[in-house]
Amino acid sequence: MIPVTKTFLPPQSEYNAILKRAWDVRWMTNRGALVKELEEKLRRHLKVPGLIAMTNGTLPIQIALKALSISGEVITTPFSYVATTSSIVWENCTPVFVDIDPTYWTIDVAKIEAAITPKTAAILATHVFGNPCDVEAIDAIAKKHGLKVIYDAAHCFGISYKGNSLFNYGDISTCSFHATKVFHTGEGGAIFTQKKELLDTLFYYHNFGHKGPEDFYAVGTNGKMSELQAAMGLSMLPYMQTVIESRRKIVALYSALLKDVSVQTITVRKDTEWNYSYFPVLFESEDILLKVKELLNSKDIHPRRYFYPSLNTLQYTNNTTCEVSESVASRIMCLPLYHDLSLTKIEEIVHTLKTGL
Q: Which residues pair with 56 in a beta bridge?
A: none
End-to-end alpha-carbon separation of the chain, Å? 23
Q: How many residues bind ligand PLP (CB under 6 A)?
A: 14
In the range 65-84, which residues lie near ligand PLP by CB under 6 A? 80-81, 83-84
Instruction: Choose, by CB under 6 A, the member of 39, 52, 58, 190 that binds ligand PLP.
Output: 58
Q: CA 251, 254, 256, 259: dihedral to nearest 10 degrees?
A: -120
State the Cα angle at 180 between 176 and 186, rounded to 5°: 70
CB of 282 to ligand PLP, least distance (A): 18
Give dist(CA 204, CA 192) in Å, integer.
14
Tell me how far, at minimum, the Cβ of 174 lies from ligand PLP, in Å: 7
Applying the rule CB under 6 A, the residues between 152 and 171 that interact with ligand PLP are: 152, 154-155
State the residue number with the nearest CB to ligand PLP. 57
Among 5, 165, 168, 176, binds ligand PLP (CB under 6 A): 176
Instruction: Count the alpha carbons within 13 Å of 52 in the hemisphere toward its beta carbon.
Output: 27
Nearer to ligand PLP, 126 or 312 (CB): 126
Contact segment (CB under 6 A) with ligand PLP among 101-109, 149-157, 225-233, 266-274 equals 149-157
Q: Which of positions 178-197 make contact with ligand PLP (CB under 6 A)?
A: 178, 189
Cβ nearer to ligand PLP, comparing 120 with 173: 173
Taking the complex as a whole, the smallest distance from the CB of residue 205 to ligand PLP amounts, in Å, to 16
Type of residue numbered 231: A
| Residue with smaller CB distance to ligand PLP, 226 or 258 | 226
Nearer to ligand PLP, 168 or 277 (CB): 277
As measured in angstroms, the least distance from the Cβ of 175 to ligand PLP is 8
Pairing of strands 148-152, 172-176: parallel
Number of C-beta neighbours around residue 208 at 10 A: 15
Q: Using CB under 6 A, which of 56, 120, 226, 317 touches ligand PLP?
A: 56
5 scored as a contact of ligand PLP (CB under 6 A): no
Site for ligand PLP in 291-320 (CB under 6 A): none
Q: How does strand 189-192 pair with strand 172-176? A: antiparallel
CB nearer ligand PLP, residue 107 or residue 154: 154
Quick check: helix, strand or coil at residue 125?
strand
- Count of CB atoms situated within 10 Å of the CB of 92: 10
Residue closer to ligand PLP (CB basis): 85 or 168: 85
Nearest to 165 by CA among 176, 153, 182: 153
**232-255 CB burial, b ≥16 within 10 A, e <16:** bbbbbbebbeebbebbeebbeebe
Selected from 57, 78, 132, 280, the binder of ligand PLP by CB under 6 A is 57
Chain centroid to CA 317: 21
* Rg (alpha carbons) of the chain, rounded to whole number: 20
Cβ–Cβ under 8 Å, residues 66 and 205: yes
What residues line the site for ligand PLP (CB under 6 A)? Answer: 56-58, 80-81, 83-84, 126, 152, 154-155, 176, 178, 189
